[in-house]
Structure 1
């Protein structure tokens, strides 16, 4: 891993990390949807999978419009751990409301990681003068917050 020596290096590092995280999420969400029993939760996971694919495309777009920014190949170890926790719930909790509650918790941990990451990236983009990048990152940040709120509603038994 090359040393981070500037704000731009930090931006690229963080962007590369969340790019890896989003790719991992596209592999984890279908498993979570298959393991869930609540139709609302299954639908939420499936909808978020489509949204995540769009977020990956948005990162690709950000790289295209931001001079000097390229994604580095790296693995998001935080997301890898969160995905393992979700898999443990799938394997150790019998299908039903209890597993669904565990899956919602696992998904919200991921959402909170993404919210922190995209918030940091948006701030870095603004500091670097990457206005278009900041706008794209803010769109994704809003989506992540909305997903977190939707999961809370499902957990509380709402619509």
Structure 2
């Protein structure tokens, strides 16, 4: 990976988050099935639909900017997805697993927030004015999902786990 320009960095970062979102679409149904809390399962299902929209938005960015994504695999998301599998395999279904799933999902959201924040800053610096609203829309969704997960944790998910 030889990145020499801000444009190359933008394409690399966009390619990386595209891979991350694709991986997430495969992981979210598994997380929903592993949740014992119906509200958490619904949050994972709703985020799957949102993630599919975010992938479409990346496709719009590619077309808008006339760029080609690199065929790379996001190693960070691969690790986060693997952590989720380990939680499912090692923690009995119930409130403790749900608390761990919420924590893992928030790690994912924080990674995505950092990625889209970086892309927004790069787009601004590169003068990609038409791309910025698309990136910021996704960034807003990721922050909203993180807030919803926090509310699930604070609204009883972690309290139920603490009683186990």
- 1:4-153 superposed matches below 5 A: 4-67=3-66, 69-153=67-151
**Structure 1: which 5+ residue stretches go unaligned?**
none
CA distance in 2, matches of 1:55, 1:103: 22
Cα deviation, residue 157, structure 1: 1.3
Aligned residues: 156
Per-residue deviation, residues 45-70 of structure 1 (Å, max 9, x unmatched): 00000000000000000111113x21
SS in 2 for 1:130: coil
**TM-score relative to the length of structure 2:** 0.94
Which residue pairs with 2:159 in the alignment?
none
Deviation at 1:133, TM superposition (A): 1.1
CA distance in 2, matches of 1:131, 1:111: 25
CA RMSD in angstroms, aligned pairs only = 0.8
Match of 1:155 in 2: 153
Structure 1 distance, partners of 2:68, 2:54, is 16
